[in-house]
Structures are given as structure tokens and as C-alpha cells.
Amino acid sequence: MNNLIEIEKLKSRDKRYISRLITQVESDAQSSSSIIDQIFSHTGSAWRIGITGPPGAGKSTITNELVKYLLSQNYSVGVIAVDPTSPFTGGALLGDRVRMSEIGTHNNAFIRSMASRGSLGGLSRKTIDVADILDAAGYDFIFLETVGVGQSELDIAEAADTTAVVLVPESGDSIQAMKAGLMEIADFFILNKSDRPGSETAFTSIKSILSFRTRKQSDWETEIIKSIAQDGTGIIEIYKMIETHREFLSSNGLVGKQRQKRMYNRIREIISEKLNKEFWKNFNQQDVSDSLAKIVNGDSSPYKFAQKFVNEFLT
């Protein structure tokens, strides 16, 4: 297709146009690079907020409430919900779609669910490309919701300016989270479902673990906000915390630094993807199959096989 971007149309936040660009980004890397090349100089104004945590913690409910609040304050908001997709259905969670449609029809809001397939972490290159599209379109805030289970929460910290980790009182989630490295990436915590039993205990235990950890930024105090997302309790406090963190980064000259680090990781990812593709283009399936048979027969080893192919690629 003709990939000449109509910047004015994008900036008018024409939703159908934005959707079309996103679909192209999702479909192939060639379109992505053409689109991002053209819009990139228009990005950088949006504030990107990562919301991560275990499944069912209330991330979507919190995001939904925050968006409603921001809309009431006349801000425009983009939401990218990255769902752990079943390889069988290939679609995002239905519940989220229904919930999101509530705000999705608002003129100043744009909601998109994305599958997390095809990437090891929760956030693929495509997600960040989509965030760029929404940024260039002029949305004031962009939310990135991802499930944090293991590796993926590390990725969200690479994509967001402010990262909030959502925990709930039950099931020792708080302790699990510390192990999973969520401590290092959280700019603040949200203890959601504070209406449930055990929330005080959970609060105290997160607080005490926080006091032992190495800080993300030396002068930044990582706080825990209690919320009951269902009825909106704590939502304004969460918003204020986002603003406080933004102010902290801005006044210390850290916004650019953080974004540079992100850019470095993003470029590395793009290079990996490119090299990987180039690499496998070089070999025909028959060569690969022959070598595999040799390895399985014990005539070669996986390391020898890999080295031979790398050598061939490099010459």
C-alpha cells in the first residue's frame, strides 16, 4: 500500500485513520518502519504510563477509571491493552473489550487491545510502535496495560515514563512480585481490592520489603496507594502520583535520560529482529533439514551446527 502518512489527519485524531495505521504496524515490519520514520518527529509529547501486575489484579478497572477521570479533566487518552493471548483464539479478552467500549466511544479516547503473541516479553516492538502513533496523534496520556508474570514487566518499564505495579491483598502476590523483580521497575505501587480482607497486612509487608530494596532513583520515594478500583476509591490519588512522578523526573532532568535508555533497548530489539530475519533468509530448508538429521544421529552438535551457519552468514 501507499504509506505516505497524512500527518494532519493523524493529528486531528481521526480514529479510523489511526486504526488503519495500527493495523498496518501489526501486519508487517516494512509498514512499521515506513510509518514510524514519517511520524517520529511528531512524537515525544505524550506521557506514557505502564500499568502492570498479576492477572485479575484490577489493571483494566483502574485504567478505565483513570481514563474516565482524565477525560473529565479534558485530557485526551490512548490505551493499549496487551493481553496474554491464547494461541488458540488469537484474540484479546472479551471482558476487556466490553469494558473498554464504555470509554472507547468518547471523542478524546482511543482504546486498542493487542495480542502479545510473537514476543517473549509482554510488550512487543509493535506495541511501542502503536504508542508512537498515538503519541504523534496528540493524545496527552498513553496507558500501556500488560500482565506482569515473570519477564514481561521488565519490558513495560522500557516502554513507559511512569510505571505502576498493581498488587492485591490475596495469595502472597506482594511477596511473589518482589521476587519477580517488580520492585525495581515500580515507580509506585497500587494495592487494589483494599476492600478485601488482609489488605492492611499486605500493605505493611510491601512497605517493609520496600525499605530494603535498592531504589530506582535515589531521591524518589516509592509509595503504595490503596485503591478500590471498582468504586473509584484511590483513582485521584493515583493520578496525582503520576503527576508527582512526572514532575520529579522533569525537574531532575531525568525524562530525556530515561527515554534515551528506552531508545537504546528499542533499537537493539529492531536490530535483533532484522538480523534474525536476514539470517534465516540465507538458508534453504533442505540444508537445515540435512544438518538436523546429522545432529540427531550424533554426527554433529547443536553448537557446531550454529557456528557453521553463523560463519556462512558472516562471509
Ligand X SMILES: Nc1nc2c(ncn2[C@@H]2O[C@H](COP(=O)(O)OP(=O)(O)O)[C@@H](O)[C@H]2O)c(=O)[nH]1
What are the residues binding ligand X (CB under 6 A)?
55-61, 192-193, 195-196, 228-230
Q: What is the smallest separation between the CB atom of 170 and ligand X, expressed in angstroms? A: 10
Q: What is the smallest separation between the CB atom of 53 and Mg ion, expressed in angstroms? A: 9
Partner whose footprint covers residue 195, from ligand X, Mg ion, none (CB < 5 to 8 Å by kind)? ligand X
| Residue 61 lies near Mg ion (rule: CB under 5 A) | no
Query: Is residue 291 helix, strand or coil?
Result: helix
Place of cell 493523524: 10
| Residue 222 lies near Mg ion (rule: CB under 5 A) | no
For the record, the C-alpha cell of 69 comes out as 477521570
Specify burial of residue 249 (Cβ count, 10 A radius: 0-12, 13-18, 19+).
Answer: buried
Partner whose footprint covers residue 229, from ligand X, Mg ion, none (CB < 5 to 8 Å by kind)? ligand X
Closest CB to ligand X among residues 228, 270: 228
Partner whose footprint covers residue 121, from Mg ion, ligand X, none (CB < 5 to 8 Å by kind)? none
Q: What is the smallest separation between the CB atom of 96 and Mg ion, expressed in angstroms? A: 5
For the record, the C-alpha cell of 71 comes out as 477525560
Contact yes or no for 47/246 (Cβ under 8 A): yes
Closest CB to Mg ion among residues 60, 174: 60
Partner whose footprint covers residue 148, from ligand X, Mg ion, none (CB < 5 to 8 Å by kind)? none
Give the contacts of 188 (CB within 8 A, at least 6 positions apart). 164, 165, 222, 223, 224, 225, 241, 245
Partner whose footprint covers residue 11, from ligand X, Mg ion, none (CB < 5 to 8 Å by kind)? none
Specify whether the backbone of 112 is left (phi greater than 0), alpha (psi in -120 to 50) or beta: beta
Binding mask of the shown chain, residues 13 to 52, with x at each position contacting Mg ion by CB under 5 A: ----------------------------------------
| Residue 60 lies near Mg ion (rule: CB under 5 A) | yes
Cα 126–chain centre separation: 10
For the record, the C-alpha cell of 161 comes out as 515514563
Give the other-Cβ count within 10 Å of 70's Cβ. Answer: 21
Q: What is the smallest separation between the CB atom of 93 and ligand X, expressed in angstroms? A: 8
Q: Which residues contact Mg ion by CB under 5 A?
A: 59-60
